[in-house]
Structure 1
Amino acid sequence: MAAASGSALPTVADRDALWEALGWRPEPAQVERFGALQQQLREWNGRLNLTRLVEGDDYWIAQVFDSLWPLVPLLSGPHRDQPLELIDVGTGCGVPGLVLALALPQARLTLVDSVGRKVEAVRAMAAALGLEQRVCLRCERIELTGRAPECRGRFDWAVARAVARAPVVAEYLVPLLAPSGRALLYRGQWSEQDQADLERACHQLRARIETVQRRELPGERGLRHAVCLAPTASCPGTYPRAVGIPAKVPLGQAV
């Protein structure tokens, strides 16, 4: 896809190629709202420097496509019209959370970030997109979210993109899952060592690695992996550990 960097939407041909590569085609109104999100990111990026990925392919491939590709079965399957509960941990500029809210019209999203200015910007973007009834923002460390009674064990999907090492992210996400829920870790590279570290962490969290998907993004935008975790039992109450400990002493390496 080769969209002009200054346009809100790619050309029709480019859009068709993008959705064909994705394996899911949004409604025209959804495409327009993805464009509206791009404009919101442009406006807020000028104030807060939220993300450099706001123009052309940077936005449509590295933000929209990359947010959606691991969840295409959810977008096109019977779950699409169900009121799923999702949580985006470390939402930053609101991606993938706001993208998923636009793609899943019945879902409710909780977006978590510890940086107040980012949270307020994303809250404003959600309101501008008409998502305020389905998108909830929490400004706090995720270790606290995982212990909050209204969040623990609640979500159908918990996702995190570019947050921390995989064992750390697993400790953030697994406590949030309902018994039938899934955790999705968006990763770049993925090695056998990464797999082994995460498996050890999952054992302690009472979860398992269900799938590891691998994909080259269109436009030579790089290799991506999507790691899906499933609970095997209730997550022990000791997790997540106190603020800062998961990152300092990752479960996969703890002695």
Structure 2
Amino acid sequence: MPDTSPFANPGPELWKLLGWSPDAGQLRQFIELQQLLEDWNSRVNLTRLVEGEDFWIAQVFDSLWPLLPELMSPDTARRCIDVGTGGGFPGLAVAIALPGAELTLVDSVGRKTAAVAAMAKSMGFGDRVLVRTERVERTGQDPSCRGTFDLAMARAVGAAPVVAEYLVPLLRRSGEGLLYRGRWQDTDDMELKSALKLLRARSMRLQRMELPCQRGARTLIRIGPEAATPRAYPRATGMPSKMPLGVQADDSRS
């Protein structure tokens, strides 16, 4: 039975709710991205969110709603990184919506990064989308990445203190980390603030959104550095998730 939801296709209802509309060229790119994702997903298991509402709400809309301030100046030069990009989101959606941005997409799963790199190349993004196959703990200690990004994003990657440890070391002093979360509680906030204190960073703004069609609650937390991140962070591969900063009393290295 065909999907009759107004959000099953990139119609005006979707963009009105988002508060931003793509131009004709960007709309073609979003449709092309869906087609490429469907093709690659038939060969490599990237995501189940490839058709109808799954794509337009759970991929495109959910990738872009936290970036409304940036969408108002899409041609501004920005260096952005998507940590744990998976099937390419939010990174590839951001590449379409912010044509002035250069993006680095990081994931440790080679079959996923190969597919994402191929999609980026097919869409003509080869000159401004770089795909890295590695654990983000290594990315954060790489001098070519550490402290160089204006925006660092992570969606559905891990607990908030873990994601903060991934993102903060990547940010330049004026940069912002975007933590895409679901529901958010006071205990989550306390743990994140404890982690940020160790990282010499702070929470800057919290936004909430109810996705249409009962797709669930979303929270965005913007974080930013207050000083240079201690060299110890991010810690060795696996340590941030094994011993999250927000709950470890003995993690006071600087």
**1:115 maps to which residue?**
109
Residue 28 of structure 2 corresponds to residue 32 of structure 1 = yes
1:112 Cα deviation after fit: 0.3
1:195 Cα deviation after fit: 0.3
Q: 1:84 aligned to 78, 89, 99, which one?
A: 78
1:29 Cα deviation after fit: 1.1
Distance 1:31 1:226 in 2: 25
**1:47 maps to which residue?**
43
Distance 1:157 1:136 in 2: 15
Q: 2:189 aligned to 184, 191, 195, which one?
A: 195
Distance 2:234 2:67 in 1: 25
**2:71 maps to which residue?**
75
1:140 Cα deviation after fit: 0.5
1:48 Cα deviation after fit: 1.2
Residue 211 of structure 2 corresponds to residue 211 of structure 1 = no
1:94 Cα deviation after fit: 0.4
Please list, as runs of the form range in 1=range in 2, the aligned pairs for 1:10-159 lying within 5 A after superposition: 10=9, 15-77=11-73, 80-159=74-153
**2:164 maps to which residue?**
170
Distance 2:42 2:166 in 1: 30
In structure 2, what residue type is equivalent to 1:184? L
Give the match's secondary structure for 1:220: coil
1:230 Cα deviation after fit: 1.1
Q: 2:174 aligned to 163, 172, 180, which one?
A: 180
**Structure 1 residues 58-77: Cα deviation after superposition (integer angstroms, max 9, x where no partner):** 10011000000010111113
Distance 2:58 2:76 in 1: 27
Q: Does the CA contact (< 8 Å) of 1:4 and 1:56 recur in 2? A: no
1:15 Cα deviation after fit: 1.4
1:3 Cα deviation after fit: 5.3
In structure 2, what residue type is equivalent to 1:103? A
**2:231 maps to which residue?**
237
In structure 2, what residue type is equivalent to 1:22? L
Give the match's secondary structure for 1:146: helix
Q: Over the residues paired in the alignment, what is the CA RMSD in angstroms? A: 1.3
**Structure 1 residues 23-60: Cα deviation after superposition (integer angstroms, max 9, x where no partner):** 01110110111010001110111111100000001100
Q: What's the TM-score once normalised by structure 1's chain length?
A: 0.94
Distance 2:211 2:3 in 1: 15
| Structure 2 residues without counterparts, runs of 5 or longer | 250-254
Q: Does the CA contact (< 8 Å) of 1:181 and 1:230 recur in 2? A: yes
**2:252 maps to which residue?**
none
In structure 1, what residue type is equivalent to 2:49? L
In structure 2, what residue type is equivalent to 1:247? S
Distance 2:125 2:162 in 1: 30
Q: What's the TM-score once normalised by structure 2's chain length?
A: 0.94
| Structure 1 residues without counterparts, runs of 5 or longer | none
1:221 Cα deviation after fit: 1.1
Q: 2:216 aligned to 222, 226, 229, which one?
A: 222
In structure 1, what residue type is equivalent to 2:179? L
1:88 Cα deviation after fit: 0.2
Distance 1:41 1:70 in 2: 22
Give the match's secondary structure for 1:235: coil
Count matched residues.
246
In structure 2, what residue type is equivalent to 1:85? R
Sequence identity, in percent?
Answer: 56
